[in-house]
């Protein structure tokens, strides 16, 4: 590729679930390593709250894809770039931008299969599934933060999330202090954004900081924050995620979201399910039935998905093809974990 062709930059954080969906899409679409610049934004250090990043994405989230527009009438350099700040839009853009007829930015000779659904009916199913996975009820990030429903698991979770939330809170506090000193110029809107985020993060940071205390050692305020935390965790896992899993399993066609062929929704679903299975204690070597049964047990109260999908899973060892009946999500897991994209993105384990 010639140096004069500007590249897109993907701002990402490797452990982030939605960044993983985009990384899977880059692999599935056959993008070469040098076609998109990968720029790390360390969420555990609160780098996403720095003014330089907020100028690209005022929502402070990754993935963010900054796309150059070469031909523009405007001399203003800002308008020559567009930032896509939402996983769905980024994956759709990456899908459209590399095809069999791409003439620029294609140093890879890998095939570029179309991931967009081919019919109106499939588009509706695809959008439905993606919407469910990105809903508040299905939030894989909330699932991670609220992955404790008793004091022992809260103590365990606080070992990793306590320092994570404290560092984020401190990074935001640093930005606020810098702007108060006049060292950086932040708008009123940005200052309010920082204050709101800091308050939200501080709530969780306090629950994790107090996780080592027994109930009787907590202040009345600490007690009510812990009770609120457990209430949210119970609702998220036992009602909301359970409902989203049930609906996704029902809406998808199996083994992939739209049947035998991989599509846009599978990028989201693969990353989402990998996160939930990892939170339920599963790992990359789990087969579909095992991974989903760990997830069902983690939700608890006897929850099981219907095992009503019959198919012939790919045989790795050349043995005779045997029809199998399992839940669609278990079939999805078996199908997706065989793909090179999955093996690459989850080479160091689920996250």
* Positions that interact with ligand GSH (CB under 6 A): 16-18, 43, 48, 60-63, 86-87, 134, 141
Instruction: List the Cα angle 275/342/239 in 5-degree steps.
Output: 25
In angstroms, what is the minimal distance from the CB of 176 to ligand GSH?
Answer: 15
Q: How far apart are CB 152 and ligand GSH at their closest, in Å?
A: 26
| Closer of 70 and 348 to ligand GSH (Cβ) | 348
In terms of Cα–Cα distance, which of 62, 12, 24, 13 is closest to 270?
24
CB nearer ligand GSH, residue 63 or residue 162 = 63
Check residue 349 and give left, alpha or beta (phi > 0: left; psi -120 to 50: alpha): left
The nearer residue to ligand GSH, 139 or 293, going by C-beta atoms, is 139
Min CB(2)–ligand GSH separation in Å = 31
Closer residue to ligand GSH, CB minimum distance, 64 or 293: 64
Least distance between ligand GSH and beta carbon 299 (Å):
21
Contact 233, 197 (CB under 8 A): no
How far apart are alpha carbons 342 and 301 in whole angstroms?
31
Cα(112)–Cα(31) distance, integer angstroms = 8
Angle at 281 between CA 297 and CA 251, to 5 degrees: 60
- Report the residue number, 21 or 262, with the smaller CB distance to ligand GSH: 21
Query: Which CB, 3 or 136, lies closer to ligand GSH?
Result: 136
CB of 88 to ligand GSH, least distance (A): 6
H-state helical runs in the chain: 17-28, 51-56, 87-97, 120-133, 140-145, 151-181, 188-209, 220-235, 242-251, 264-279, 288-299, 328-336, 340-345
Q: What is d(CA 205, CA 164) in angstroms, rounded to the nearest whole number?
A: 8
The pairing of beta strand 309-311 with beta strand 8-12: unpaired
Contact 17, 141 (CB under 8 A): yes
Cβ closest to ligand GSH, residue 84 vs residue 331: 84
- Reported as half-sphere exposure (CB side, CA atoms, 13 A), residue 1 has a value of 19
Determine the distance from the C-alpha atom of residue 181 to the mean position of all C-alpha atoms in its chain, rounded to a whole number: 36
Contact call for residues 43 and 168 (beta carbons, < 8 A): yes
Shortest approach of ligand GSH to residue 336 CB, angstroms? 19
Closest distance of CB 62 from ligand GSH, Å: 4
Compare residues 90 and 335 and give the one whose CB is closer to ligand GSH: 90
Question: Measured from the CB of residue 84, what is the shortest distance to ligand GSH in angstroms?
Answer: 9
């Amino acid at each position: 590729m010639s140096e004069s062709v500007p590249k897109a930059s993907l701002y990402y954080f490797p452990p982030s679930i939605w960044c993983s969906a985009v990384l899977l899409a880059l692999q599935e679409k056959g993008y070469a390593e040098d076609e998109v610049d990968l720029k790390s934004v360390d969420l555990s250090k609160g780098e996403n709250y720095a003014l330089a990043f907020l100028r690209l994405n005022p929502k402070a989230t990754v993935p963010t894809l900054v796309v150059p527009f070469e031909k523009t009438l405007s001399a203003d350099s800002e308008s020559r770039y567009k930032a896509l700040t939402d996983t769905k839009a980024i994956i759709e853009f990456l899908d459209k931008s590399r095809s069999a007829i791409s003439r620029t930015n294609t140093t890879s000779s890998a095939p570029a299969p179309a991931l967009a659904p081919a019919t109106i009916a499939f588009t509706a199913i695809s959008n439905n599934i993606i919407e469910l996975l990105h809903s508040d009820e299905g939030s894989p990030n909330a699932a991670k933060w609220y992955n404790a429903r008793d004091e022992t698991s809260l103590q365990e979770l606080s070992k990793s999330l306590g320092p994570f939330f404290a560092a984020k809170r401190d990074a935001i506090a640093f930005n606020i202090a810098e702007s108060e000193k006049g060292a950086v110029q932040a708008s009123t809107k940005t200052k309010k954004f920082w204050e709101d985020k800091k308050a939200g993060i501080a709530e969780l940071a306090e629950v994790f900081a107090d996780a080592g205390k027994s109930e009787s050692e907590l202040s009345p305020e600490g007690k009510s924050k812990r009770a609120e935390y457990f209430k949210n965790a119970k609702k998220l896992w036992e009602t909301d995620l359970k409902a989203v899993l049930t609906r996704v399993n029902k809406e998808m066609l199996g083994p992939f979201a739209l049947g035998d062929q991989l599509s846009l929704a599978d990028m989201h679903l693969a990353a989402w399910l990998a996160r939930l299975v990892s939170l339920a204690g599963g790992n990359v070597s789990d087969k579909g039935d095992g991974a989903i049964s760990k997830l069902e047990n983690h939700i608890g109260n006897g929850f099981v998905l219907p095992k009503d999908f019959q198919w012939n899973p790919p045989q790795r060892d050349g043995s005779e093809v045997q029809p199998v009946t399992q839940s669609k999500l278990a079939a999805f897991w078996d199908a997706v974990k065989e793909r090179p994209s999955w093996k690459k993105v989850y080479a160091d384990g689920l996250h």
